Structure 1
């Protein structure tokens, strides 16, 4: 129970003043001369007045001290955590309000841009606005070189003319299926291998380059117990590709590699030619000897290896859609480092699952090309449907070095589980650790929401406790205590609104930001061409955001 409320310091001071007033008025009231008793009574009143005044002053001092203690008690100690969301000042201090970078959303209606050299990662379910909210806006905004995966061909249809006409970019569209009547430029995923094999100073890197391509053509699976047959098939792909690059560079294409391995007679002739080769310090001869011995001593096993290789190369079968598209080069991927080239990799959505490895091969080819280019320009790899590219060989290791070479990778996925299934938990964790910007919205997985809640950390909050006492007439006591609370609970993560997003930028407090479709931003709405998949104009609404641009010289 609380102690009874003490008297007011002001009241006590008034009592003290009254005693002094009475002592001063005593002679006038009772007359003079004063005898010893009068002087004693006056002294007693003065003493009581002084004591009262002192008590009142001490009461005020105590109140001031209690007020300071209360203020101190109301200050959050942070003992359970100090997590907090960033405000606009934090964003400005981090340079996120500078427009020379990649658009990543808004905070309190102000556009945010990431100008760092490292990578980005976006995670949101299908049809939740990744394209209209971020991919298309950046193709309209970003003025450097871009290579972008285009699962429906709509990105090229909407933004290619703008990048060509307004930004002065050289635009190429890898478009095997001829989507939307757009150009059909060719890209040979083996071009870097050909160039290495023909350059005496770089030929020693050719085996490693072809080994990575063989892994991309025939990706590793989670079944680590049954690696024997896939490894045998990869050896055939590896050896055949290396042979073509060294001895027949003019025919070094994936359709030709398929043609060789799919035809037993031709393959036997190539193996014999490999045995006679002295290239690469005898490496080709050793590969030829190994394949010839297996063909002779274990013909059924050899045929199983060959059938596996043919199956993986079948998407490049001559006469198919991809065959012509990968049989030559209409664009030099190394030119991306000039800062003035845009390459769209357009694919029908229904072909992504079966043919996505071809896109992965081209992306890997582009990474090799820009990594070895002497040019100093910046290149953005904008990889929509990232998980459908297949497992990109050596990606986790490449991500560490690429920022120093002027290359940023923006990975766009539908769910984190895709990344884990493709790369395994450890490599997926490494890939995410290389992203300085992580973006999440429309989270619909309870497990993912919980992991994000934990990643945001905890804040310390004050709680007010009440003590009701034992009896009805007891005064109610109050006290403050502290406890820990998630900055954002899992249920709050899944409850984010349509226009909200969560941004985790390295070195900055978490940002609870906004997002909007590009047609609500001027001049993006005017710059975008019509989407051929929709067949209608974009909604005609007043822009919520207006940006100013200077003409690129």
Structure 2
């Protein structure tokens, strides 16, 4: 007996002394598919206060109603091919939630018709900015939202970014020279349109007037200052040291062909404002951006899918909108707006279908990372990673990282497949191989078991996801596979129109942009010099 005990003692000591960490079944990776129970933790008990991701997965829109450990930002990336039902399975169901304000891009121009009556029935004011037909639209004038000379730079940058055709438009010297002239002209309109003593608005300029000023820069007689040169000198006499004049004097340092080239580049950029329909669209403002986060509002921006000639206006609109809304939210949260508190600040969901068609929005990565605290969230809908990469270069990674939820509907893009394959993680699998040998006299066989790692979803498995299925990637969670949501599953499915034949629910509208005559400023509102340019 003593011998048995003595023999066993070293073994016991050896076993108890092994301090290694064992993760059986996870040696090569611990990725797995998430369970429905894990997904349900993100859901608000009040169904209407959720964002709808798939048939079974929802996420509460308001963090203060959720447990701390599931409070994430509400930015979402949706990736899907044309025909994957992004509108039917994501955009429409979330509009039907009626749980926030909405700013929605509408590539086909149908969403407002399908949902407008439902929204108005529930107290929403509906705004439409139509870049498909350029008629029957609300109007957007960036000058309406300029409250200080600092806005001159912001508007100029937004226009330059929005009208940029590519990242290779020229050397930085030319871009900066063009911005200098643009700031001077926009600045002249800003200062000239205000009473120098009271700051009261004397008239409302618009971007078409910049094109008019550009036509008046060249001298007809080399010895006689042009009308625009005279206008800047007179502005300096009335408002000494103004920002517009300083920019103009810097531009005046350019001579000869350099100066002519800068004027030509900017003239080309602004020539688009010579179209009558475009002028009418920007001649006044009915968008009421400063009310988007305090009144119950839904804004639809119709952008064409095949012709992006005027889509830069949507880029400018978003650049100005984010600036206006951020400032408004900050002043409310800081208690600087009489009669308003945090409770009066309505959440805005920007649902940006065909995001790549909008054009580059200045400072978008910074906007995306900072709007959470201002009760805003952005839903970016694209077809593949390379669409973001072409617009924002390496910043696409920052954009992806600032979206806590990714919904994958499908793609044919290899890089996108690999990204979500990697994101799904690695799992541990066991393989078994058998071998047999045969000879004339005898044979033998053997079995070999191994532990290996493989992606939970390989790139080709990502590509082969079912037409009616989607993958839900939530920050810090395993991927969840589910059926897509559907309009027909929503309790308000009967509140929206499905075709123009559904006349009781189809939303027809008439806006100030229809049949506008004489919306351009009255001559009596203008300075004499600008009146001459305008008449020309």
Distance 1:261 1:464 in 2: 77
Distance 2:115 2:472 in 1: 25
Q: CA deviation at 1:523?
A: 3.1
Indicate how the Cα distance of structure 1 residues 130 and 174 shifts in structure 2: closer, same or farther if over 3 A, else same: same
Q: Secondary structure at the match of 2:253?
A: helix
Distance 1:529 1:513 in 2: 27
Which residue of structure 2 lines up, in the alignment, with residue 209 of structure 1? 154
Which residue of structure 1 lines up, in the alignment, with residue 128 of structure 2? 173
Q: Describe the superposition over 1:92-151 as per-residue Cα deviations: whole angstroms up to 9, x where unpaired.
A: 123377632221112xxx252353543111122223211111112212223211111112
Q: CA deviation at 1:474?
A: 7.2
Aligned partner (choices 87, 103, 110) of residue 154 of structure 1: 110
Alignment of 1:392-431 (within 5 A): 392-425=361-394, 427-431=395-399
Which residue of structure 2 lines up, in the alignment, with residue 247 of structure 1? 192
Q: CA deviation at 1:277?
A: 6.3
List gaps (5 residues or longer) in structure 2: 1-21, 62-71, 195-202, 218-225, 333-343, 504-536
| Corresponding position: 1:303 with 2:240 | no
Aligned partner (choices 133, 139, 143) of residue 99 of structure 2: 143
| Corresponding position: 1:283 with 2:243 | yes
| Corresponding position: 1:104 with 2:50 | no
Q: CA deviation at 1:236?
A: 1.9
Q: CA deviation at 1:247?
A: 2.4
Which residue of structure 1 lines up, in the alignment, with residue 495 of structure 2? 527
Q: Secondary structure at the match of 1:509?
A: coil
Q: CA deviation at 1:234?
A: 2.5
Q: CA deviation at 1:458?
A: 0.6
Q: CA deviation at 1:219?
A: 3.2
Aligned partner (choices 99, 103, 113) of residue 59 of structure 2: 113
Indicate how the Cα distance of structure 1 residues 276 and 416 shifts in structure 2: closer, same or farther if over 3 A, else same: farther
Indicate how the Cα distance of structure 1 residues 256 and 410 shifts in structure 2: closer, same or farther if over 3 A, else same: same
| Corresponding position: 1:347 with 2:296 | no
Structure (1 or 2) with the larger CA radius of gyration: 1
Q: Secondary structure at the match of 2:128?
A: strand
Indicate how the Cα distance of structure 1 residues 524 and 278 shifts in structure 2: closer, same or farther if over 3 A, else same: same
- Answer yes or no: is the 8 Å Cα contact 1:277–1:284 preserved in 2: no
Distance 1:212 1:522 in 2: 42
Q: CA deviation at 1:488?
A: 0.5
Indicate how the Cα distance of structure 1 residues 207 and 189 shifts in structure 2: closer, same or farther if over 3 A, else same: closer
Task: Calculate the TM-score normalised by the size of structure 2.
Answer: 0.75
Q: Describe the superposition over 1:484-514 as per-residue Cα deviations: whole angstroms up to 9, x where unpaired.
A: 0110011111111101112211132111122
Aligned partner (choices 394, 400, 419) of residue 451 of structure 1: 419
Q: Describe the superposition over 1:424-463 as per-residue Cα deviations: whole angstroms up to 9, x where unpaired.
A: 12x1111111111111122112332122211211100122
Which residue of structure 2 lines up, in the alignment, with residue 43 of structure 1? none
Q: CA deviation at 1:417?
A: 0.8
Q: Please, which moves more after superposition, 355-364 or 252-261?
A: 252-261
Distance 2:431 2:162 in 1: 59
- Answer yes or no: is the 8 Å Cα contact 2:305–2:357 preserved in 1: no
Distance 1:251 1:134 in 2: 40
- Answer yes or no: is the 8 Å Cα contact 2:138–2:286 preserved in 1: yes
Indicate how the Cα distance of structure 1 residues 479 and 240 shifts in structure 2: closer, same or farther if over 3 A, else same: same
Q: CA deviation at 1:356?
A: 0.9
Distance 2:117 2:97 in 1: 13
Q: Secondary structure at the match of 1:141?
A: coil
Indicate how the Cα distance of structure 1 residues 241 and 225 shifts in structure 2: closer, same or farther if over 3 A, else same: closer
Alignment of 1:253-402 (within 5 A): 253-264=206-217, 265-273=226-234, 275-276=236-237, 278=239, 282-294=242-254, 297-298=255-256, 300-317=257-274, 319=276, 321-338=277-294, 340-351=296-307, 353-373=308-328, 374=332, 376-402=345-371
Q: CA deviation at 1:233?
A: 2.3
Q: CA deviation at 1:76?
A: 4.2
Give the total of aligned pairs. 442
Structure in which a larger fraction of residues adopt helix: 1
Q: CA deviation at 1:395?
A: 0.8
Indicate how the Cα distance of structure 1 residues 98 and 438 shifts in structure 2: closer, same or farther if over 3 A, else same: farther
Which residue of structure 1 lines up, in the alignment, with residue 454 of structure 2? 485
Q: CA deviation at 1:268?
A: 3.3
- Answer yes or no: is the 8 Å Cα contact 2:353–2:381 preserved in 1: yes
| Corresponding position: 1:90 with 2:38 | yes
Q: CA deviation at 1:476?
A: 5.6
Indicate how the Cα distance of structure 1 residues 213 and 273 shifts in structure 2: closer, same or farther if over 3 A, else same: farther
Q: Secondary structure at the match of 1:463?
A: strand
- Answer yes or no: is the 8 Å Cα contact 1:460–1:485 preserved in 2: yes
Distance 1:455 1:513 in 2: 17
Indicate how the Cα distance of structure 1 residues 494 and 176 shifts in structure 2: closer, same or farther if over 3 A, else same: closer
Q: CA deviation at 1:214?
A: 3.8
Q: Describe the superposition over 1:275-333 as per-residue Cα deviations: whole angstroms up to 9, x where unpaired.
A: 54646x54323212122332xx32x32222122112222232251x2211222122311
Q: Secondary structure at the match of 2:319?
A: helix
